[in-house]
Amino acid sequence: MDTMTKEHLELHWSPFKQVKAWQLSKKYSLALACRLLMSIKDPNHVTRFADPFVHVIDGFMALPINIPGTAFNRAIKGGRVIRQELLAIIKQRKKEISENKGSVAPDLLTQMLLVSDEKGSTVINDMMIAINIMGLLIAGHDTTSAAITFVVKYLAEYPHVYSEVFKEQMEIARSKGPKDLLNWDDIKKMKYSWNVACEAMRLSPPAQGSFREAIDDFTYRGFTIPKGWKTYWTPHSTHKNPKYFPNPEKFDPSRFDGNGPAPYTFVPFGGGPRMCPGREFARLEILVFMHNVVTRFMWEKAIPDEKITYNQSPIPVHGLPVNLKPHKS
């Protein structure tokens, strides 16, 4: 992850004076997921996933009207393209495993195929594996990209916060050799940086919420919700509840010092048994990116009052263009 982050910044950030953080964070997170889940390294191969993913994401909250020209129809077609691409990868990987090649990547896809062989193809077939991989790619695409984008946004808006993050990350950088990569001990030292990321996700949750089905009748604030009804939960109202977060519109990473907020008040990843299983993956990805981008650049927003639009994730209208500045030697 650290190696890929360095490569991404060198290729897509360093040569330019201005970049669009939203588009680049999406490119980064999808490439990272493809590499770690399926060992795909070819950028052109990743692009074949990226294009139909746009339609799939747009169709999440669309009206379920499956006629040509609708967002829902485009999402169905995009999903079909992704699944076919995944099935082709699975077929090739199964061939490599059967030939007992020593170079078979020990990634998630390989592990799922090995489990499939143990359980029998009638239990876990290729399509089920493709669907599960697709779900993981979707989960790691827009939401993590949004978290990274808004970390960049808030660090640009609050120089004193950037300064503290820079100080923490430089202490880690100075403790390592020129070619040493980040390790788990380094991640554990990034306490203030993670507080900053959490505060960014509190104010701008990467996911807008999710549907759930009531398993029993219940009453909430005078309203009776019958068993079987669909409910939609969103973190926005909880994250800005002054009872738990005084002065809720203020960007204040110190809220997460010590034990942090009360349980179930900070829920960017959901909570309970259905909490996002990728939480720690996202945490690692965000912190590794923060370390590399902060130790390499300073930046300022090119559009100070850029508006935010909301679909499945919050999206800066113009892609959050930022002007990059190298650190003074």
313: CB partners within 8 A, 6+ apart: 142, 143, 145, 146, 206, 207, 208
DSSP letter (8 states) at residue 325: E
Phi, psi of 227 (to 5 degrees): -55, 135
Helix (H) and strand (E) counts for the chain? 12, 9
Q: Which helix (H) or strand (E) holds 322?
A: strand 321-326
Q: Are 232 and 214 in contact (CB under 8 A)?
A: no
Q: Which two tokens stand for residue 103?
A: 């170079």
Residue 34 labeled ligand binder = no
317: CB partners within 8 A, 6+ apart: 306, 307, 308, 309
List the binding residues for heme. Answer: 276
List the binding residues. Answer: 276
